[in-house]
Structure 1
Amino acid sequence: MTATDSALTGLAQGWCALSLLHGRIESHIERALQAGHGLSVREYSLLDVLSRQHSGPGGHLRMHQVADSVVLSQSATTRLVSRLEDRGLLNRYICDTDRRGIYTDVSEAGLALLAAARPTNDAALREALAEAARNPELAPLVTAVENTRTSPVPQLP
């Protein structure tokens, strides 16, 4: 095996560990949000992203920006928005300055559900990270995630 082969093996192992950590965290949060609030992780993420929009210039996100933020395709994001709108959690409206643009805002009911679900999400995340930290393969990744708390959160484009 050459040096390159062993480096790729290490890289692949790191990627597998990261994927495992993500999957475990997402599953744990999914169960907690479903049980406590009838929300999926994707629904929670969408409500969270949309709740951080503002009315000033560049404050509203276009659908492709929302899709990028919740890591879904644009068509899957549109379907998700439609489902949440049907539940009364989101409102869509035409952009005043560009009649082709459609914006989405979180409704009062959506904001209330998001506020109720946020502590559940945060607690489930802490629980999943604590559990993963006990696994020697995942512990360094958990440390890296925990260290990002002191770094500024990247802004949406």
Structure 2
Amino acid sequence: MDAPRWLDAREDRAWRGYRRMRRLLDLELARELTQATGLSEPDYDVLSEVSETPQGRLRLSELADQMRWSRSRLSHHLTRMQQRGLVTREECETDGRGSIVALTPAGRQAIDSAAPGHVAAVRRHLIDLLTPAEVDALGAFTHRVVDHLAGSDRRHSPQREPEV
């Protein structure tokens, strides 16, 4: 086995700073979102993904893939959102095994009301603290890491779950 390549002081500072920033940023954004709207981060993620489709409808399997959730986890979360009147589930007309997640009018209103405040919080706690060059660098390195991990995920992913 090869000897580990330990992080040097510069790399360790960057890594620990990233980890702490991510935890604190996620906590603050979640706290503000819940206080202002009553939505959890997962609620917001589901509503925003579905709302960005032309008809406010998305296959459950596509939504699970986009969110990087198992279909089972998403299905349980959608059940709670259905009970609150934010989404519905419909049979897929072209595939009897598939389901479509659709926004209800209340779900559309919830995301439309939540988005401006959430974006303002993202600006206040991250974007507005960066220079334009830092925003470009953030976009470049995050997409490079995501592309790397998405490729790794495809190589190591288990069998797909059946459609819920």
- With structure 1 as the length reference, what TM-score do the two structures score? 0.70
Aligned to 2:74: 77
Against the structure 1 CA distance between its residues 6 and 116, is the aligned structure 2 distance closer, same or farther, given a 3 Å change threshold?
A: closer
Alpha-carbon deviation of 1:126? 1.5
Per the alignment, residue 102 of structure 1 pairs with: 99
Which residue of the partner structure matches residue 134 of structure 2? 143
Deviations 1:40-84 (A, max 9, x none): 1111011000112235xxx83333x32232343332221111111
Q: Deviations over 1:77-98 (max 9, x none)?
A: 2111111111000010000011
Question: CA 1:99–1:77 in 2, change beyond 3 Å: closer, same or farther?
Answer: same
Mapping 1:82-93, distance limit 5 Å: 82-93=79-90
Question: Which is strand-richer, 1 or 2?
Answer: 2
**AA matched with 2:134:** T
What is the Cα deviation at residue 32 of structure 1? 1.3
Moved more, 74-83 or 39-48: 74-83
SS of residue paired to 1:53: coil
Q: Which residue of 1 aligns with 2:6?
A: 5
Alignment match, 2:121? 124
Amino acid at match of 1:79: H
Counterpart code for 2:39: L
| Pair 1:47-2:47 in alignment | yes
Alignment length, in residue pairs? 138
Taking the aligned partners of 1:24 and 1:69, their CA distance within structure 2 comes to: 24
In structure 1, what residue type is equivalent to 2:32?
A
From the superposition, tell whether residues 8 and 147 of structure 1 become closer, same or farther in structure 2 (CA, over 3 Å): closer
Aligned partners of 1:42 and 1:70 also within 8 Å: no
- CA gap of 1:4–1:92, structure 2 versus 1, over 3 A, is same
Q: Distance in 1 between matches of 2:94 and 2:32?
A: 40
